A and B are shown apart, each in its own frame.
With several copies, the nearest count.
Chain A
Amino acid sequence: MDLDALYQEIILDHYKNPHHKGLREPYEAEVHHVNPTCGDEVTLRVHVSGAGEDAVVEDVSYDAEGCSISQAAASVMTDLVIGKPLAEAMSVHETFLALMQGRGAVEPDEDVLEDGIAFAGVAKFPARVKCALLSWMAWKDATSQALDQTATPVTEETR
């Protein structure tokens, strides 16, 4: 079992010094997600501006309790989505998801995933994939709730 493939330096760095941590205002939606198997938890808020094709991820703030993988994943995620047009952020999410579900067979794209490529090793540890995805799932859920709340009707494509 190659432990270092899982616990890359980048992951341990984000774990020790998480980015964008803490709950902030303003936000349109807050969600609380749990990993039922281990109890890891995340409370996450999103602040989205604009709507439809113009929607932008203004901020993602969170409070989380969990293992190194889940903590680091939350930190890397915020780096990757904050400030991006929503459509682009969603596409990064898809790329990360594909990497995680690839059982180690997917080559990570550093241009898209930046520090996220450090999670390539996690894909080989099925039990830990959920840890890496916890905050991403929370973000997706919160974003969809935030969009539901905006007055402008949301097109199917952006959801």
Chain B
Amino acid sequence: MTVTDTRHALPGLLPGLDLVRADFPILGRTVAGGNPLVYLDSANTSQKPQVVIDAMVDHLERHNANVARAMHTLGAESTEGFESARDKVAAFVNAPSRDEVVFTKNASEAINLVANTLAWNGPLQVGPGDEVLITEMEHHSNIVPWQLLTERTGATLRWFGITDDGRLDLSDVDDLITERTKVVSLTWVSNMLGTVNPVADIARRAHEVGAIVVVDGAQAVPQMPVDVQAADIDLLAFTGHKVTGPTGIGVLWGRREVLDQLPPFLGGGEMIETVTMARSTYAPVPHKFEAGTPPIVEAVGLGAAVDYLAALGMDNVRAHEEAITAYALQGLASVSGLTVLGPQRAELRGGAISFELDGVHPHDVAQVLDSRGIAVRAGHHCAKPAHKRFGVQSSTRMSSYLYTTPAEIDALVDGLEYTKKYFKVS
């Protein structure tokens, strides 16, 4: 049985999965002495379809120039490629305006942009007595920026805990969301536990006390339809390399009123209105937050990526993830000594499944799987506090994406049985 075998026709799988897989050149690769690649590390970074690579190559070979400032033909073509990516991204998350889409270098920078500028003078400035509320299941990129902000301004950092079954513990919400709360920042989908959080509910509560709501969409945007207006949030961060786009680009979407109230972040070319030696004034958003030459070829790639996802249909992608996740939860349950962390039902979660295997350290699990061509992640997945909450130092994580097949899950389950044998645990 090959990994592209379609004998498992699970309901919900993407139609034409073989053809979809053929879009991704790397999936044809073999690793570890001839084993077909079984890539189950998509929550870490996704693979790229040919159409994304081709768009980038076409840009570099035929249209490369700097944007905005250049008025020649190449400059106009490059600007068109770059700015139309902004349109595509705006449409992809249903942003009310293209000007609310700021390109950053990754999701981490997008969150830091907000946390860093909230320290400075402005209508939203955070100071002593103010509180910033996060959760215990955040990625480090949604923890450390808020620690830096609160340490540097004298504000207080608070957080929601996690229930035993891996969901947000909302029992003390009334104590946590108060008049002192200035910012609530949480992940839409956990990259470790897989949990899908009730973002709209929390946003409603936060808005009642006048807090701004920042959502880390790094894991959500790749795998489910995301509508920033329906969720009624204020800011959304996500990253290009997890939505089949390239590294080097991230997105901060923000409601214009909020973005307008944040002071500048990085200073430099393109973010100014006028500059004298004594003082400068700043361009309107999105340019205010895009100092220096932006990630141009990366935006072209990201534009092609969201077009690709939109063509597949994000509802279909979500259905595929749910089907694969359900199948994987089943398969993993068959491995004795294996414990899945986080919600046990596929419909409550995204496509990342972290687990422990009794008697074998995650590094060693990942290493043995790798020798069979199976790529998973081992470690704390940049979520140390969430690991600590469950009393574990690290875990093994498999994460699927739109190109994952049930047969790849079978290969994982076989690999885990082999791992146990290799390390002589029953």
Interface residues of A (CB under 8 A from B): 1-3, 6-7, 12, 34, 36-41, 65-70, 125-128, 131
List 7 tightest A-B contacts by C-beta distance, closest first. A67-B363, A38-B379, A67-B361, A127-B71, A1-B32, A1-B371, A39-B380
Let me know if B69 and A37 touch, CB within 8 A.
Answer: yes
Let me know if A34 and B363 touch, CB within 8 A.
Answer: no
Closest to B67 in A: A37
Q: How far is the CA of A70 from the CA of B361 in the complex (A)?
A: 10
B307 cross-chain contacts in A, Cβ below 8 A: none
Binds A, one of B7-15, B75-83, B151-159, B193-201: B75-83
A40 cross-chain contacts in B, Cβ below 8 A: 363, 393-394
Closest to B77 in A: A126
- Pick the contact of A131: B70, B363, B371, B384 (CB < 8 A): B363
| A36-B272, A37-B379 given; A67·B364 CB < 8 A | yes
B70 cross-chain contacts in A, Cβ below 8 A: 127
Let me know if B68 and A37 touch, CB within 8 A.
Answer: yes
Closest to B32 in A: A1
Q: How far is the CA of A40 from the CA of B33 in the complex (A)?
A: 29
Q: How far is the CA of A39 from the CA of B422 in the complex (A)?
A: 24
Kindly state the interface size class of chain B when it binds its partner. 35 or more
| A1-B32, A3-B368, A125-B76 given; A66·B363 CB < 8 A | yes
Q: How far is the CA of A67 from the CA of B384 in the complex (A)?
A: 17
Is B370 engaged at the interface, CB distance under 8 Å to the other chain?
yes
Q: How far is the CA of A69 from the CA of B368 in the complex (A)?
A: 13
Let me know if A39 and B364 touch, CB within 8 A.
Answer: no
B234-272 with Cβ < 8 A to chain A: 270, 272
Is B98 engaged at the interface, CB distance under 8 Å to the other chain?
no
Is B367 engaged at the interface, CB distance under 8 Å to the other chain?
yes
Let me know if B273 and A34 touch, CB within 8 A.
Answer: yes
- Pick the contact of A6: B270, B283, B367, B378 (CB < 8 A): B367
A65 cross-chain contacts in B, Cβ below 8 A: 393
A128 cross-chain contacts in B, Cβ below 8 A: 71, 363, 367
B166 cross-chain contacts in A, Cβ below 8 A: none
| A1-B370, A6-B367, A128-B71 given; A38·B378 CB < 8 A | yes
Is B350 engaged at the interface, CB distance under 8 Å to the other chain?
no
| A39-B384, A126-B76 given; A3·B394 CB < 8 A | no
- Nearest CB of chain A from residue B163's CB, rounded to whole Å: 23
Let me know if B71 and A39 touch, CB within 8 A.
Answer: no
- Nearest CB of chain B from residue A105's CB, rounded to whole Å: 15
| Contact digits for B54-87, partner A, Cβ 8 Å, 1 yes 0 no | 0000000000000011110101100110000000
- Nearest CB of chain A from residue B425's CB, rounded to whole Å: 11
A70 cross-chain contacts in B, Cβ below 8 A: 363
- Nearest CB of chain B from residue A8's CB, rounded to whole Å: 13
A66 cross-chain contacts in B, Cβ below 8 A: 361, 363, 393
Closest to B377 in A: A38
A-B contact pairs, 23 of them (CB 8 A): A1-B31, A1-B33, A1-B73, A3-B368, A34-B274, A37-B68, A37-B69, A38-B71, A38-B362, A39-B379, A39-B387, A41-B393, A66-B361, A67-B362, A67-B364, A69-B363, A69-B364, A70-B363, A125-B76, A126-B79, A127-B75, A128-B363, A131-B363
B367-403 with Cβ < 8 A to chain A: 367-368, 370-371, 378-380, 384, 387, 393-394
- Nearest CB of chain B from residue A39's CB, rounded to whole Å: 4
Q: How far is the CA of A127 from the CA of B33 in the complex (A)?
A: 18
B33 cross-chain contacts in A, Cβ below 8 A: 1
B378 cross-chain contacts in A, Cβ below 8 A: 38
Is B287 engaged at the interface, CB distance under 8 Å to the other chain?
yes
Closest to A6 in B: B367
B14-64 with Cβ < 8 A to chain A: 31-33
- Nearest CB of chain B from residue A86's CB, rounded to whole Å: 25
Q: How far is the CA of A126 from the CA of B74 in the complex (A)?
A: 12
- Nearest CB of chain B from residue A111's CB, rounded to whole Å: 29
Q: How far is the CA of A40 from the CA of B393 in the complex (A)?
A: 8
- Pick the contact of A38: B73, B283, B394 (CB < 8 A): B394
- Nearest CB of chain B from residue A100's CB, rounded to whole Å: 15
